[in-house]
Amino acid sequence: ASITVVSPETCDEILMLAEEEIITHISRYFEEKDADNMFIVFAATDSEEVNLAVMQACRKRNILCCTVDGNWRDGDFVSPASFSKDGITVSVSTGGQSCTRARDIKNMLADTLDNLPEQED
């Protein structure tokens, strides 16, 4: 699978992954053509208007799209907050009701797992 991030600004982690050619970063605002040939899209900007435009572009192309804002109900899916550690995977979902709560519960469970004693099989 290939990952493309379209954003005029981004964090150091995204830039590093792009420099290492693990992902593609397009340094500009979203254009409708960016949805061409995508399989799945996460609209994760700080603008509900942009996220809605991304979702509409995906709808025209029958592409699965999830938004991470107030438009989430109109999206095709929601993603759980997840982590993996030592062969254990934990996912927490609120069905889209509260991403912040799911994240906080995930972090609490991760901290709890970090504090459990090692067990032998």
Q: 10-24 pLDDT, tens per residue?
A: 999 999 999 999 999
> Does one domain contain both 33 and 52?
yes
> Does one domain contain both 65 and 88?
no
> Does one domain contain both 14 and 64?
yes
Residue 107: its pLDDT value, please? 95
Residue 71: its pLDDT value, please? 75
- The predicted-structure confidence for 92-102, as pLDDT tens digits, reads as follows 998 878 878 98
> Does one domain contain both 108 and 64?
no
Give the span between the Cα atoms of 113 and 88, in whole angstroms.
9
Residue 99: its pLDDT value, please? 79
81: exposed, middle or buried (Cβ count in 10 Å: 0-12, 13-18, 19+):
buried
What is the CATH number for 65? Answer: 3.40.50.720
Residue 117: its pLDDT value, please? 78
For 90, the token pair is 């934990």
> Does one domain contain both 89 and 106?
yes
pTM of the predicted model as reported, rounded to 2 decimal places: 0.77
> Does one domain contain both 61 and 18?
yes
% of the chain residues with pLDDT over 70 = 99
Give the span between the Cα atoms of 2 and 117, in whole angstroms.
38
> Does one domain contain both 31 and 85?
no
Give the span between the Cα atoms of 35 and 58, in whole angstroms.
6
Residues spanned by the domain of 90:
81-114
Residue 10: its pLDDT value, please? 92
